Chain A
C-alpha cells in the first residue's frame, strides 16, 4: 500500500526558510514523480512544482521559481521541499502527492504539513 508520510507542523518567522519532508513507502521513490501542492486557509489547491527522484529533475511553478528547492534522499526514500524568504501569504498546508493511475492525476497524497508564518 503506497503511503506518503510528511513531517510535522512548522512555525516560522517572515524571511526564514522551511524544509518539509515526504517519506514514501510501498514503492521505490525513484520510480515516479513527486509533486508539491499547497492550500492557503480557505483557499483552493495550488501546484508548486514536481521532482523526479530517479534523476533529480525538477520543474517549478513560475511563481515559486527562485524560492523553492525540491530534493531527494534516495537512501531513505524521502523527498524534501524547501521554501525560502517566507512571507505571511506562505502560511498554508503543504502536501506532497504523486500519480498512480496515469501520469497527470494525483492518486496518492501525504497528510499535509501546516506551515505558519508569524513574527
Chain B
C-alpha cells in the first residue's frame, strides 16, 4: 500500500514558522489532508485538499503539495500549536485507500 513519510519531530520558537513535510511517491497528484492532535484528544482537521482550511481554523495554517512532498506550514507559531500533526491521502487504486503518515510531534520551544 501507499506509504507516507513524516519527520518524527519538528521544533520551532514562538513567533517563527514551522514546516512539516509529508513525503510520498507522486503525492502531488493526490489530495492531502492534515490533522492536529493534542494529547488525550481526537484529531482535528486543519487543512484539506492540500491547502483549504475548514471553518474555524486560523489563517496561520496553510498547506502546499507538489512532486513528492506535501507541506503543512504554521506561521507565527504559538504555544497552543504544540501537538502531533498527521498527513493523510486517499489512494483510489489501493485495497487500503485511506493512508496516514506516521505523525510529527511539533514542539514549541
Which residues of A are interface residues toward B (Cβ below 8 A)? Answer: 35, 37, 43-47, 50, 59, 61-63, 95, 97, 101-107, 109-112
C-alpha spacing A102/B90, complex, angstroms: 11
Cβ-defined partner of B48 (8 Å) among A46, A101, A110: A101
| Residues of chain A lying within 8 A (CB to CB) of residue B48 | 101-102, 105, 107
Asked whether, in the complex, the Cβ of B102 is within 8 Å of the Cβ of A44, the reply is yes
Asked if residues B103 and A44 are in contact (CB atoms below 8 Å), the reply is yes
B54 and A102 contact, CB distance less than 8 A = no
Contact between B100 and A105, CB atoms less than 8 A apart: no
Q: Is the CB of B49 within 8 A of A105?
A: yes
A interface, over-half SS: loop
Total interface residues on B, CB under 8 Å, equals: 25
In the complex, how many angstroms separate the beta carbon of B41 from the nearest chain A beta carbon?
Answer: 8
Interface of B toward A, CB cutoff 8 Å: 1, 31, 33, 35, 42-45, 48-49, 52, 54, 86, 88-90, 95-103
Residue numbers in A under 8 Å from B54 (CB-CB): 101, 107
Known: A61-B96, A62-B95. A110 touches B45 (CB 8 A): no
List, in ascending order, chain B residues with CB within 8 A of A43's CB.
102-103
Name 16 extra pairs, CB < 8 A, besides A43-B102, A95-B42.
A44-B100, A44-B103, A45-B86, A47-B96, A47-B100, A61-B95, A101-B52, A102-B49, A103-B90, A104-B33, A104-B98, A105-B33, A105-B48, A106-B43, A106-B45, A110-B42
